[in-house]
Structure 1
Amino acid sequence: MTAPNPRLSSVLSPGHRALITGASGGIGESFARLLAARGLDLVLVARSEGKLRALATELSAAHGIRAEVLATDLSRPDAPRQLHAACEARGLPVDLLINNAGFGSLGPFDANPFEREHEQVMLNVTALMDLTHLFLPAMLARGTGGIINVASIAGYQPVPYMAVYAATKAFVLSFTEALWGETRERGVRVLALCPGPVETGFFDVVGTRDAAVGIMATPEDVAAAGLRGLEQGRASVIPGWRNRIQSSLPRIFSRTLTVRVAARMMKPRGPTAPKLAPGAAPARR
């Protein structure tokens, strides 16, 4: 196990600031609560302004921290630049970036709405990459900082009937581990957090719980695992031993076999009634 880095640990101490996307519920809200309890100031980002303001008020009163609200639809192409500009205009340097916002869809790729799949890539991939690119340089200039990108064990193999979602999480995992290699000796730690299914609003967005494979984790446990992994300087974390075993199967069996098994497991058993997912909905982990 990698020893905690003193400079990185300081990012998780009072007086620093974390920006959390998808902060209105699920894993994002859990990150906000854990970090506020540590004394960090917060920038809370999601589309649901009312939920964000209620959370900001609660955490500010409970922990004496400063919690800013920036209601933003990160699936819009210009949203990451606008969010970064808003932080600079308000004098809000970000020490810890948590890219948590995302959503998924279940069903045959050809049958899912074009707009839904496009928005999924824009939020899960493009917005995450853009925000990382915008906030990372200042961290490197200061010689300290942290980034947590929330991926999924779905990123370890192709997943039929969640083809786009799994592909976006494969990007997040590869991108994040590569950045870990680039930044680990420059004072900034980057972590891919890869949970299995989590008890969040994700499956309400998907339209069915048939997509949940494995034991549900709590968002609190997943967020805590992410912070521990960041403190340890790890490149990626898979919470739960069952999930770690599942993620290793594509390396043991052929990719063809694992895809065929996944297709049988994930094929929808009934109508999924696709809904356009809110941009800040927490993704399946």
Structure 2
Amino acid sequence: MTRYALITGASSGIGLAMAEALARRGRDLILVARQRDRLESIAIELTQRFGVEVLFRACDLGEPLRLSGFLLELEEGERQIDLLVNCAGIGTCGPFLGQDWMTEQDLIEVNILALTRICHAVGNSMALQGGGQILNVASTAAFKPGPWMSTYHASKAYVLHFSEALRVELKKCAIKVSVLCPGPTRTGFFARAQMHEQHLTHDKHLMSPEEVALYAVRALDKNTAIIIPGRRNRWLAALPRLGSRWLVRTLAGRTNKAYCPR
């Protein structure tokens, strides 16, 4: 039976780069994102370039009923998933009380609830089939509180801790769990979060999605628990443990506020 890698958030950024990196290795794929037309063109391109089977499903993971339908489709289908890559994510920037609540709720639905629910459904399938591998995408933001991006930082902290816990729990099921914590990356994230992106996008230290994906797939081969691409990002992830909590949240707040809408 053919086995597939399931990738959420596969229409752009790190999710798209992961799809290409895995297709290059000959992996058959199931791609999930909101934009059907975009997914279809990606599926055609990857199939033509690498000769792999690429299936796709347009699904807004922030809508529980649509997510339920997608997971039911997976459960009733005959395709086995031996690699799950949860890349879908949303960011917001600005004072928490000034945010539109529906946008904040969408962030929580996608970054936390959908990711957790997909891990539960696919994880159970992997356990029945004798094993598999899960990669959840967090961020270096997971290592510190983030005033003016409070919900985003908190959601990524959840992904980090949840993934580390699953790694211990699911080892007995032969399911390997890793968490990817990239630093700021040249994607459309800044624009979607309505951040002032001029300085960020021209930062020479920013990695490309392709660099992050290549680092991630190599780390998956080694079953690395916490994957942090880039030496600078590893330092940024470690620094919060060295300073006081007051200093960490104060500096993070100043940095985030500088990029938020006025």
Name the residue aligned to 1:245. 235
After the TM superposition, which of the residue ranges 60-69 and 197-206 deviates more from structure 2? 60-69
Return the match for 2:19 from 32, 35, 40. Answer: 32
Q: CA deviation at 1:91?
A: 2.3
Return the match for 1:174 from 141, 161, 166. Answer: 161
Return the match for 2:180 from 193, 196, 213. Answer: 193
Name the residue aligned to 1:264. 254
Contact 1:154 1:169 in 2 (8 A): yes
SS of the aligned residue for 1:94 comes to: strand
Contact 2:127 2:173 in 1 (8 A): yes
Query: In the alignment, does 2:113 pair up with 1:126?
Result: yes
Q: CA deviation at 1:237?
A: 0.8
Letter in 2 for 1:193: L
Written as runs of structure 1 = structure 2, the 5 A alignment for 1:131-150 is: 131-150=118-137
Alignment CA distance shift 1:117-1:194 (3 Å)? same
SS of the aligned residue for 1:101 comes to: coil
In structure 2, how many angstroms separate the alpha carbons of the residues matched to 1:211 and 1:190?
34
SS of the aligned residue for 1:68 comes to: strand
Letter in 2 for 1:242: R
In structure 1, how many angstroms separate the alpha carbons of the residues matched to 2:10 and 2:144?
27
Written as runs of structure 1 = structure 2, the 5 A alignment for 1:224-243 is: 224-243=214-233
After the TM superposition, which of the residue ranges 188-197 and 208-217 deviates more from structure 2? 208-217
Q: CA deviation at 1:184?
A: 2.6
Q: Which runs of 5+ in 2 are unaligned?
A: none
Q: CA deviation at 1:87?
A: 2.3
SS of the aligned residue for 1:184 comes to: helix
Superposition CA RMSD, Å = 1.9
After the TM superposition, which of the residue ranges 161-170 and 235-244 deviates more from structure 2? 235-244
TM-score, normalised to structure 2's length? Answer: 0.93
Runs of 4+ in 1 over 3 A off after TM superposition: 210-214, 268-272
For residues 155-179 of structure 1, what are the alpha-carbon distances to aligned partners after superposition, in whole Å with 9 as ceiling and x for unaligned?
Answer: 0010110000000000000000111
In structure 2, how many angstroms separate the alpha carbons of the residues matched to 1:84 and 1:125?
16
Aligned-residue identity in percent? 39
In structure 2, how many angstroms separate the alpha carbons of the residues matched to 1:175 and 1:31?
21
Name the residue aligned to 1:223. 213
SS of the aligned residue for 1:95 comes to: strand
Name the residue aligned to 1:161. 148
| Structure number having the greater helix percentage | 2
Q: Which runs of 5+ in 1 are unaligned?
A: 1-13, 273-285
Q: CA deviation at 1:81?
A: 2.3
In structure 2, how many angstroms separate the alpha carbons of the residues matched to 1:86 and 1:268?
44
Name the residue aligned to 1:83. 70
Q: How many residues align?
A: 259
Name the residue aligned to 1:184. 171
Alignment CA distance shift 1:206-1:270 (3 Å)? closer
Q: CA deviation at 1:268?
A: 4.0
Alignment CA distance shift 1:254-1:64 (3 Å)? same
Letter in 2 for 1:223: A
In structure 2, how many angstroms separate the alpha carbons of the residues matched to 1:62 and 1:116?
37
TM-score, normalised to structure 1's length? Answer: 0.86
Return the match for 2:85 from 98, 102, 116. Answer: 98
Contact 1:159 1:259 in 2 (8 A): yes
Q: CA deviation at 1:41?
A: 1.0
Letter in 2 for 1:239: P
Name the residue aligned to 1:67. 54
Alignment CA distance shift 1:210-1:257 (3 Å)? farther
Alignment CA distance shift 1:212-1:82 (3 Å)? farther
Contact 2:148 2:260 in 1 (8 A): no
Query: In the alignment, does 2:20 pair up with 1:41?
Result: no
Name the residue aligned to 2:102. 115
In structure 2, how many angstroms separate the alpha carbons of the residues matched to 1:143 and 1:236?
23
In structure 1, how many angstroms separate the alpha carbons of the residues matched to 2:111 and 2:200?
19
Q: CA deviation at 1:249?
A: 1.4
In structure 2, how many angstroms separate the alpha carbons of the residues matched to 1:249 and 1:269?
21
Name the residue aligned to 1:205. 192
